[in-house]
């Protein structure tokens, strides 16, 4: 998957926004909270569940994301996984972060 394809998949998610931060990385947010980062070390970092973290880092294509692993973030190389898997992981990351938003924020973003 290319960075452009990551952008298309991330921006197709409800209320997703993109900013450029940290030296040219594409940072995808929902409700002002980061759910994925593309461009750090040529890969993609995203939020996962506890089970997803174990699955992706202990037997899958992922590794602990630099500076974010404590919060169950995984980093993958864009060419190390199937495009459909990356799209699913982005949707899951978006959902995990959106679920933490307040009820008011969810309503304002059309997520409730």
Domain CATH for 101? 3.90.1150.30
The answer, yes or no, to whether residue 40 has pLDDT greater than 70, is no
In 3D space, the residue among 65, 59, 50, 51 whose CA is nearest the CA of residue 81 turns out to be 59
Burial of residue 76 (number of CB atoms within 10 Å: 0-12, 13-18, 19+): buried
Structural domains counted in the chain: 1
What confidence tens digit (pLDDT) does each residue in 48-104 have? 999 999 999 998 899 999 887 678 999 999 998 999 999 999 999 999 999 999 999
Mean of the pLDDT values across residues 16-31? 94
Residue 14, pLDDT above cutoff 70: yes
pLDDT value of position 67: 82
Contacts 24+ apart (CB under 8 A), 29-32: 29/97, 30/94, 30/97, 30/98, 30/101, 30/109, 30/111, 31/97, 31/98, 31/101, 31/105, 31/106, 31/109, 31/111
List the domain range (segments joined by +) for residue 62: 3-109
Between 29 and 70, the higher pLDDT residue:
29
């Amino acid at each position: 998957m290319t960075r452009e394809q990551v952008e298309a998949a991330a921006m197709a998610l409800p209320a997703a926004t993109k900013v450029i931060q940290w030296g040219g990385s594409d940072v995808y947010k929902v409700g002002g909270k980061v759910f994925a980062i593309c461009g750090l070390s040529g890969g993609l970092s995203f939020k996962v569940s506890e089970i997803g973290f174990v699955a992706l880092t202990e037997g899958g294509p992922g590794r602990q994301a630099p500076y974010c692993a404590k919060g169950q973030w995984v980093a993958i190389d864009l060419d190390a996984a199937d495009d459909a898997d990356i799209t699913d992981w982005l949707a899951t990351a978006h959902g995990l972060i959106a679920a933490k938003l307040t009820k008011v924020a969810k309503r304002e973003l059309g997520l409730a």
